[in-house]
Amino acid sequence: MPFGIAIEHYESDGAREVSFPLGVRRIGDEAFRGCDDLEDVAVPEGVCEIGAYAFSACLNLRRVSLPESLSSLGASAFEHCQKLEEIILPSNLRYVPTGAFKGCFALRRVSGGEGLVEIGDQAFSNCRALEVVPPLDAVEAIGRRAFSGCRALRSVEFPSLLRALGDEAFLSCPDISNVVFPEEIDEVGHGVFKGCPKLDRSDVPERIAARLFPDGEGPCESSDR
């Protein structure tokens, strides 16, 4: 990482916005965790890393702007930012890590992220308002329960490059009714679409249907484990 300033801890002063000093390159683990006064964060160009839990539980955070320079995002970086409505992912980001946006109940749209290769476990779990998944064009792996509990999702188009789909990746997404699968996929987890009663199973390739919809599937289950 280039030399520069790292923000390791932010002492909340009641401000609704953050002013970053010049030369910031890294925002450390838990740096802004639980800063309930924050509503708007514009991470400046030049920041290339945001640490684990950096902005988690910022309960009033509504708007976040991420720079194109960002290439590393830590686990649960924005977990439980319950009022966050939209996020634009930078094109340099290759991996959305475990729990990055878990429990962002108001998150409706994720865009950008043309360079994404992998979406981690529970990355968008319980984003109940999410209507559109991030661009998946280059994605090769989607983790366990990555989109579980995304109740507003209606359709998903998997890219031709997809090689691994984790267990219960779309558990309890009751409005999903249309899914486009790639011709080839190497690893398919169990119960990927369990609790998705509107999905037309006739559109699912027979060779993977048994793993996507396990026998004896019951009603929608909670995804918050």
One-letter amino acid of 81 = C
Alpha-carbon distance 63 to 142, whole Å? 26
Alpha-carbon distance 8 to 125, whole Å? 27
Mean pLDDT computed over 85-94: 95
Q: What is the pLDDT of residues 55-83, one digit of tens each?
A: 999 999 999 999 999 999 999 999 999 99
Q: Give Cα separations from 221 to 91, 173, 194 (angstroms).
A: 34, 10, 8
Mean pLDDT computed over 191-208: 81
Range from 2-6, 11-15, 198-202, 203-207 carrying the lowest mean pLDDT: 2-6
Q: Domains in the chain and their CATH numbers? A: 1-84 (3.80.10.10), 91-217 (3.80.10.10)
Q: What is the pLDDT of residues 144-155, one digit of tens each?
A: 999 999 999 999
pLDDT at residue 222, as a whole number: 43
Q: What angle do CA 106, 134, 209 make, to 5 degrees?
A: 105
pLDDT at residue 5, as a whole number: 87
DSSP per-residue codes, 45-82: TT--EE-TTTTTT-TT--EEE--TT--EE-TTTTTT-T
- Token readout for 109 is 């749209």
In 3-state terms the chain splits into helix, strand, coil percentages (rounded to 5) of 5, 20, 75
Q: What is the mean pLDDT of the chain?
A: 89
Q: Considering the entire predicted model, what is its pTM? A: 0.90
Q: For residue 9, count other CB atoms closer than 10 A to its CB.
A: 10
Residue 218 has pLDDT above 70, yes or no: no
Mean pLDDT computed over 21-41: 94
Alpha-carbon distance 90 to 65, whole Å? 9
Q: What DSSP state is assigned to residue 17?
A: B
